[in-house]
Amino acid sequence: MSAPPFNLYDLTREQLRVQLVRWDLNPVHVARLWNYLYIGLAASLDAMPELPPKLRARLAAHTYLGVLPTALETASGDGFTHKYLLALADAERIETVLMRYTGRVTACISSQVGCAMGCVFCATGQMGYTRHLTPGEIVAQAVHVARALRPAAPAKCHVIRDTGAETPAEMCHVIRDKPARERLRNIVLMGMGEPLHNYDAVMHAIDILRDPNGLALGAERITLSTVGVVPGILRLAAEKRPLHLAVSLHAANQAERAALVPAAKKWPLDELMAACRTYSATTGRRIFYEWTLIEGKNDTPDHARAVGELLRGLPAQVNLIPLNPTSGYAGLPTHSAPARTFQHILSAEFEIPSTVRQRRGIDIAAGCGQLAVTEAAAS
């Protein structure tokens, strides 16, 4: 029995090269194929006209291109946020968000269908866990956003040939130098799912996204957000992966945190902070601590001082994010004035830098999982 077709987005360039060798084809063709996938952003084999016939035949017989169709697309009123509900092959749906703020183009991508962590205020947590995404499904979200940014992107080889470029390396160079209006530069793994719960697939996908001959996303432009999966943080530290790490804290004592983040019962706050200290000591990197501001719940001056004490002496930045309301949780977002007071306390009393995130994209349910939940309820 022959092996089922595999998703081209699942493979690194080196794995594709090895596959070509297995097929008894010249591995030099991997450069052109990779170029079609991640520079030309081809959406099908038909958009790769200049592949050698033998390679094309192998690809047609043994692979597929896991492009994710858009089930629903919404744009915020200010035009800065686009949210895509993308359909997976098994009819599951995931969310991907394109954000354009202060000149930064960022894709917020999902790592799972649903999430097992159950944060009480999160629409994805309220859905529960369905399954992990494959590396190809994670990569395909970034490709989807890159394609959305470049509607007139060259998808066919004649565009390359017209420039006079001959070698694959030159092809990459020439296309990057074309007058693309915007380019995907940042990835945040803050969509649906807990990325450290799907560690291997996420890291494999990041390796593909970072390939310098493809989407070429710098590690310093990739941020992974975790609710506090301690073994994953320690593994990241041991592997010294040069990513940005964001840890969702939301509370500075175990009881309050466990009430908001059920995963804290498995990985208590003291273990989490020990892992964060190990991570920062091992990598020398600052951690971003995320704090969802919920009115009257965790937004008082006492809460600010508690988190200040917790993070005292650590390389840290606190990102304060007023709650995105969901139908499954009764909390309300903190208003601007108490958020600024919280920030002032962190700065003045603890010298901890912080930001207060603007609540963007609220009109399109841009908080993670909100669009999927809304869509499921409507269908």
Please give the positions annotated as active site: 95, 368
Write each residue from 184 to 223 as x if it is in contact with ligand SF4 (CB under 6 A), else as -, in one continuous string.
--------xxx-----------------------------
Tokens of 175: 């296309």
Q: What is the largest CA-CA distance in the chain?
A: 68
Asked if 310 interacts with ligand SF4 (CB under 6 A), we say no
Residue 124: CA atoms inside 13 Å, Cβ hemisphere, count? 26
Asked if 232 interacts with ligand SF4 (CB under 6 A), we say no
Angle of the 30-38 helix axis to the 13-22 helix axis, nearest 10: 140
> Are 94 and 133 within 8 A, CB to CB?
yes
Question: Least distance to ligand SF4 from the beta carbon of 254, Å?
Answer: 17
Write each residue from 138 to 177 as x if it is in contact with ligand SF4 (CB under 6 A), else as -, in one continuous string.
----------------------------------------
Asked if 228 interacts with ligand SF4 (CB under 6 A), we say no
Pick the stretch among 1-9, 115-123, 142-150, 293-301 that binds ligand SF4 (CB under 6 A).
Answer: 115-123
38 vs 329 by CB, closer to ligand SF4 = 329
Residue 29 neighbours by CB under 8 Å, 6+ apart: 20, 51, 52, 55
Tokens of 69: 């169709």
Asked if 115 interacts with ligand SF4 (CB under 6 A), we say yes
Q: Which of 368, 371, 372, 373 binds ligand SF4 (CB under 6 A)?
A: 368
Q: CA-to-CA distance for 234 and 277, rounded, in angstroms? A: 10
55 vs 294 by CB, closer to ligand SF4 = 294
Asked if 322 interacts with ligand SF4 (CB under 6 A), we say no
Asked if 227 interacts with ligand SF4 (CB under 6 A), we say yes
Residue in this structure with the two tokens 């994010």, named with its chain if needed: 321
> Are 35 and 153 within 8 A, CB to CB?
no
Q: Cβ of 99: how many Cβ atoms within 10 Å?
A: 20
Tokens of 146: 């890159």
Asked if 122 interacts with ligand SF4 (CB under 6 A), we say yes
Binding residues (CB under 6 A) for ligand SF4: these are 115, 117-119, 122, 124-125, 192-194, 227, 368
